[in-house]
Amino acid sequence: MRLLITGGAGFIGSNLARLAVGDPAVADLRILDDLATGTMSNLDGLDVRVVPGSILDDQVLDDAVRGCDAIVHLAALPSVPRSLRDPVSSHHANATGTLRVLEAARHHGVGHVVVASSSSVYGANPTLPKPELTWTGPLSPYAVSKLATEAYAIAHQVSYGLPTLAFRFFNVYGPRQRHDHAYAAVVPRFVHAALRDEPIEIYGDGRQSRDFTHVRGVCAILLDAVRRRVSHPHPVNLAFGVRVDLLTVVAELEQIVGRRIVRRHQAPRAGDVRHSEADNRVLRELFPQVRPVPLKEGLRETAEWFQTNVVKQPLG
């Protein structure tokens, strides 16, 4: 199989690339990325063809998609706060960008496209856990752009017979996630602060909860999906239904680093949802053999990676 990963220099994309290069089913791997948030260092040591540029550039996209059998489309401008500051850029990259990727796939006869949507599409819907067919209530431009991502993927399946699969990722964490920009996610920010013995900044009371999903589990499912060409008529939650609050994550990190961590509470952030947990019955039906990485193990692995590659101080 000739596989293209868009956004392959990013956090999830580079973890997937590392898994895919060792897979006998993947004969050729290429990556399309404009390095808006990803880095080439994420791909250090990997033998892959990198097409530099944007999914919004037709020529670049054509070059990357031509000859591919499958695409995992991860390129996007992630982050709710980023989209609140600049909704138009998020829309272009995430909504228009997805449509362009699907159109390129259609024109080049690509056999299968997997896209990345987000649990943020549930937004205002308080149901817990969230089944896929409940109502969506996006609370930010980012969430709207991800709703467009999955809707375009499914519309291409119905309208043009292009086999697609739209996953709703929940809070993915693990090695190679960035801690060092204004829109960094909570786990890498917490891990980095904990390892450096700095106070952890918590928006709100810290009782907000998330279905934290280790990137290894996510990538195993993505690769299995392309290997078996899994498609589905509805979006599929990709998380394991294990919801914990932020204070629990901090407590786990205290165990890992072996000391107390100072918490500093800030005002809650606009656009953030209070609780998030996947109903993952559809995921388990489609991918019965995949097992989640327990939070304790996932956080320890993440902390070890940050300690070796970013902080470079002894752990504990």
Distances (CA, A) of 101 to 8, 14, 19, 50, 158: 14, 19, 23, 16, 16
- When the beta carbons of 6 and 231 are compared against ligand NAD, the nearer one is 6
Closest separation in Å from C-beta 316 to ligand NAD: 27
No. of helices (H) and no. of strands (E), the chain:
11, 13
CB of 1 vs ligand NAD, minimal distance in Å: 21
Which pair of structure tokens corresponds to residue 208?
């907000």
Give the separation between CA 4 and CA 300, rounded to whole angstroms.
Answer: 31
Strand runs labelled E in the chain:
2-6, 28-33, 49-52, 70-73, 112-118, 164-169, 172-173, 200-203, 209-210, 213-214, 236-238, 244-245, 263-266
Q: Which residue, 155 or 315, is less far from ligand NAD as judged by CB?
A: 155
Nearer to ligand NAD, 26 or 32 (CB): 32
d(C-alpha 195, C-alpha 178), whole Å: 15
Least spacing, CB of residue 245 vs ligand NAD, in Å: 17
What is the rounded distance in angstroms from the CA atom of residue 52 to the CA atom of residue 288?
Answer: 36
**Minimum distance from residue 33 beta carbon to ligand NAD (Å):** 4
Taking every pair of Cα atoms in the chain, the longest distance, rounded to a whole number of angstroms, is 56
> Of 99 and 315, which has the nearer Cβ to ligand NAD?
99
State in angstroms the smallest separation of the CB of 98 from ligand NAD: 9
Q: For 13-42, b where at least 16 C-beta lie within 10 A, e where not — what string?
A: bbbbbbbbeeeeebeebbbbbbeebbeeeb
Q: How far apart are CA 272 and CA 190, in angstroms?
A: 17
Q: At closest approach, how far in Å is the CB of 205 from ligand NAD?
A: 22
32 versus 110: smaller Cβ distance to ligand NAD: 32
Residues that bind ligand NAD (CB under 6 A): 6-7, 9-13, 32-38, 54-56, 74-78, 93, 97, 116, 118, 169, 171-172, 185
The answer to whether the bond into 199 is cis (omega within 30° of 0) is: no
**Which is closer to ligand NAD, CB of 199 or CB of 294?**
294
Q: What is the smallest separation between the CB atom of 37 and ligand NAD, expressed in angstroms? A: 3
Q: Which is nearer to ligand NAD, 150 or 252 (CB)?
A: 150
